[in-house]
Structure 1
Amino acid sequence: MGNAEYMSVRASKDSIWPYGRIAWHYEYRANDHDESEKKFLGKEGNFNGEDIVDIIVAQEATANFLSTRLFQYFASDEVDADGEFVISEMMQAYFESGYKVSAVLRSLFNSDYFKSEKCMYSRVKGPVESVVGTARLAGTYQEPTLDVHSLWAQTMFMGQGLLAPPTVEGWHEGVEWIDSGSLVERINFAAKELSDPTKEGVKDIIHRVTAAQKDLSDSEKLVDSCLDFMGPIQVEADTREGLIQFAESQGVVRTEEGYPDQSGSTQIARLIGMIASTREYQLA
């Protein structure tokens, strides 16, 4: 850290020092304030904490950091040339709106990039997103219950304890969510939840697949229907081929009067669980 950077950090600390907290609001203590002239990010003056914040939010680096992080959180883990253009528009919205995050998000969500296929399945789901999304898809909980605490435990096993980040920096997201241990937890949880034909959400998927796909003996169409009603989920060609082979290995789905019997429902549920164990299911 250079001397100029050190002095900026020191000035920031001295300016914020007289602030305390009372009843969850900041309290300014004038008698604790350092009245001397300070240098902070190229500015000079008798700054207080609010002045420091005003200087920080006006920096281009702040706009870039905020816009990039929001882009990666909502759109894509990787930022390509098109992503850089979207981020530049987000930064422009940040300054034109007077530093409003709502304007930055509006710029992102209204962009052509955010609505394009390029933005689909380009983020690794965070543990909370993965667990909650899977539980909702499976219909695990139909009403409030204390059992939902088990979902919190699952997110812990996958590396994201609610309200418990490892450091003040937060979690390292994207592909860093995935390691050998967390990946096994993700696959086991999703496959277990979605391969249970007694769960309401799984029943609904089976019903919709059956209604859309009258000929359940066609493994390719069966796989495509399950992928469609689980997302839709787009998978690579080799993943799709593996799912078709799995469906064929189970034999023809057994039906009764055009609808899967108990054994047939179990077959489709197993296929749904297998889809949940694919690489593509971990993406959003």
Structure 2
Amino acid sequence: MIMWLDNQDNHGSNINENFGREILELFAMGVGNYSEEDIKETARAFTGWSVVNPDYMSIKMRNNTARPYGYMSWQFEFDADDHDDGEKTILGQTGNWNGEDAVRIICEQPATAAFLARHLYHFFVADELPVPQWPHEPPRDPEAIDLLCKAYFEDGHSIKSMLKAMFESDFFKADSARFARIKSPAEMVIGTMRLAGPVEIPSQETYMADAACGNMGQGLFRPPSVEGWQGGTEWINTGSYVVRVNFASQILNDPNKVGVRDIIERIKASVGSGLMSSDDLVDACLDILGPLDVLDTTRSGLKNYAAKYGELSWGSDDASSQFDDAAVAIIQLIVTTQEYQTA
């Protein structure tokens, strides 16, 4: 992050505000909770923070970051001679602060706790509004944010404690939190590939998955800005939704894939006989793929489509092949539904 935010160019004699600004705005507190003077003073605290051989690494970074496995070797370097040793006032606290002091001061702010809590809620529980709207709109669940903030301060600014409090909370387990988040492209792609079965790495499928994520709006390791992706409803538009649907149905189109075969065998095992109605096929698919709690209209549409298969069995090779085709068709339809696109 030092390189991406230009802190190698942040010198005691000539500050570069980018690193200090983004820590306050994007990673810790959010817009409206600090002043322009706080940005400058924070930047001064981080003067001298760089990496070994920054000129060479800046060239190497641009050439190599898109390659797999992240083999670049970074080494942090602090140049005391390039650090501003003067007195600084950051968020109301005055002293001869360095970068670690700046981090401590930022962590002590209530705005930091609230900002982190809202991000965690957005990622794990339910979609929030896009971050640029947060200064103007209250959280979706203010009581949940308060609980997470309390955990943060009670255990020395611990994000681990925030996560523990969240995962043990009633709001995390509530019915209202189910399917309240639109899956990111990475979540949707990886989840679907796991359903289909083991994937060799690297392989043609992994490259196809990477391309699909990009076409859905989330180029892996290629965010649109240092802020990352907004998530939520930003993931869905007419183009990206078509890519989602096509990718999921394509990945699950082969009954001989290990994961798809496992799903089909579990569907068969869900009944005590070698017969299954088309309605039961839909219910079994929804249960095994989730379980997915779909709208009545979605379930009805799936069952209306499945009705053409009539009574299904798998006692003979022909019947088994027909059952496989029917099961795959219903699975493919389910992964195109709006319910499958949420978590």
Fold match, TM over 0.5? yes
1:83 pairs, out of 126, 134, 141, with 141
> Relative to structure 2, which stretch is displaced further, 267-276 or 196-205?
196-205
Give, as a single letter, the amino acid of the residue that structure 1 aligns with 2:292: I
Within the alignment, does 1:58 sit opposite 2:58 as a pair?
no
Please say if residues 216 and 222 of structure 1, whose CA atoms lie closer than 8 Å, have aligned partners that are also in contact.
no
What percent of counterpart residues are identical?
40
1:207 pairs, out of 239, 259, 265, with 265
Would the alpha carbon gap of residues 94 and 277 (structure 1) be closer, same or farther in structure 2, given more than 3 Å must change? same
Give the Å deviation of 1:81.
8.1
> 1:49 aligns to what?
99
Give, as a single letter, the amino acid of the residue that structure 2 aligns with 1:241: S
- Secondary structure at the aligned position of 2:89 is classed as strand
Give the gaps of 5 or more residues in structure 1: none
Give the Å deviation of 1:227.
0.2
Would the alpha carbon gap of residues 25 and 88 (structure 1) be closer, same or farther in structure 2, given more than 3 Å must change? farther
> 2:254 aligns to what?
196
Give the Å deviation of 1:259.
9.6
Please say if residues 278 and 312 of structure 2, whose CA atoms lie closer than 8 Å, have aligned partners that are also in contact.
no
Would the alpha carbon gap of residues 16 and 26 (structure 1) be closer, same or farther in structure 2, given more than 3 Å must change? same
In the aligned structure 2, how far is the partner of 1:81 from the partner of 1:35?
40
Within the alignment, does 1:282 sit opposite 2:337 as a pair?
no
- Secondary structure at the aligned position of 1:282 is classed as coil
In the aligned structure 2, how far is the partner of 1:220 from the partner of 1:56?
57
Give the Å deviation of 1:47.
1.6
> Relative to structure 2, which stretch is displaced further, 216-225 or 13-22?
216-225
> 2:55 aligns to what?
none
Give the Å deviation of 1:257.
5.0
Would the alpha carbon gap of residues 139 and 255 (structure 1) be closer, same or farther in structure 2, given more than 3 Å must change? same
1:15 pairs, out of 40, 45, 52, with 45
> Relative to structure 2, which stretch is displaced further, 90-99 or 206-215?
206-215
In the aligned structure 1, how far is the partner of 2:202 from the partner of 2:279?
39
Once the two structures are superposed, residues 214-260 of structure 1 have per-residue CA deviations (whole angstroms, 9 ceiling, x without a partner) of 47552222211110011111100000000001101344435325995
- Secondary structure at the aligned position of 2:340 is classed as helix
> 2:70 aligns to what?
none
- Secondary structure at the aligned position of 1:281 is classed as coil
Please say if residues 82 and 113 of structure 1, whose CA atoms lie closer than 8 Å, have aligned partners that are also in contact.
no
2:175 pairs, out of 105, 111, 117, with 117
Give the Å deviation of 1:115.
2.1
Give, as a single letter, the amino acid of the residue that structure 1 aligns with 2:230: H
Within the alignment, does 1:146 sit opposite 2:146 as a pair?
no
- Secondary structure at the aligned position of 1:39 is classed as strand
Give the gaps of 5 or more residues in structure 2: 1-30, 53-72, 130-137
2:85 pairs, out of 31, 35, 45, with 35
Once the two structures are superposed, residues 162-188 of structure 1 have per-residue CA deviations (whole angstroms, 9 ceiling, x without a partner) of 111110000010111011111000001
> 2:135 aligns to what?
none
Normalized per residue, which structure has more helix?
Answer: 1
RMSD: 2.4
> 2:239 aligns to what?
181
TM-score, normalisation: structure 1? 0.91
Would the alpha carbon gap of residues 50 and 154 (structure 1) be closer, same or farther in structure 2, given more than 3 Å must change? same
How does 1:250-269 map onto structure 2 within 5 Å?
250-253=309-312, 255-257=314-316, 260-269=319-328
Would the alpha carbon gap of residues 227 and 258 (structure 1) be closer, same or farther in structure 2, given more than 3 Å must change? farther
- Secondary structure at the aligned position of 1:44 is classed as strand
